[in-house]
Amino acid sequence: MPRHPTRSTRIVGVLALLWNLVGVAAFLMQLVLPAEALQAMSPERRAVHEATPAWLYVFYGLATFGGVLGALGLLLRRRWAAPVFLVALLALLLQIVAGYATTPAWALGGVASLGFPVLLVGVAIALLLFARRMAARDILR
C-alpha cells in the first residue's frame, strides 16, 4: 500500500520541475538563437556554437524534457519517475561527452569549463537517487 507523500517529495518535485524548466528554456533559446545574439557572442563561444552538430541537440532535448517529465512523475507520485530520470541522466552524459568531443569547447575552456556540466550531472544523479529512494519506500506508486 503506497504511503502518503512526504513534504520533501513535494519540495524536491517542485524544485526539480523549476530547475528542469530552466533547462528547457535554455534548450529552446539555443535552438532559435537569432543572428544578432550569435554575433554578440565572444569568438570562442561562437566557434563552439557553430561547431555543435545538429544531432547533439537530440541528447540536449532528451536531457531537459526528460528532467521535466521525471519531476512531474515525482509530483504525481509515479514510480516511472526514476527510469525517466535515468534516461535524462544518460542523455546529459552523452551530450556533455559528445559536446567536448565534437566542438572546440575543451580546447578553449579546458578543465575550467567543467564546472557547470559537473553541477548538472550532480543534480541529475541526486534526482535519480531521490526518485529511486521514494519508489523503494512506496511513496511513488
- The percent of residues in the chain predicted with pLDDT above 70, rounded, is 98
pLDDT, residue 53, reads 95
Each residue of 71-129: pLDDT tens digit?
A: 999 999 999 999 999 999 999 999 999 999 999 998 888 898 999 999 999 999 999 99
Q: With bands split at pLDDT 50, 70 and 90, how would you rate the model's confidence at 1? A: low
- Higher pLDDT pick, 35 / 95: 95
E runs forming strands in 44-139: none
Domain ranges of the chain: 7-136
Among 131, 42, 123, which residue's Cα sits nearest to residue 83?
131
Q: Rg (Cα) of the chain, in Å, rounded?
A: 17
| Report field, pTM of the whole predicted structure over 0.85 | yes
Say if CB 59 and CB 98 are below 8 A apart. Answer: yes
pLDDT at 139 over 90: yes
- pLDDT computed for residue 2 by the predictor: 55
Task: In whole angstroms, give the CA distance from residue 47 to residue 50.
Answer: 5
Residue pLDDT, tens place only, 37-66: 889 999 988 999 999 999 999 999 999 999
Side-chain half-sphere of 58: how many Cα atoms within 13 Å? 5
Output the CA torsion 56→62→65→71 (10° steps).
Answer: -140
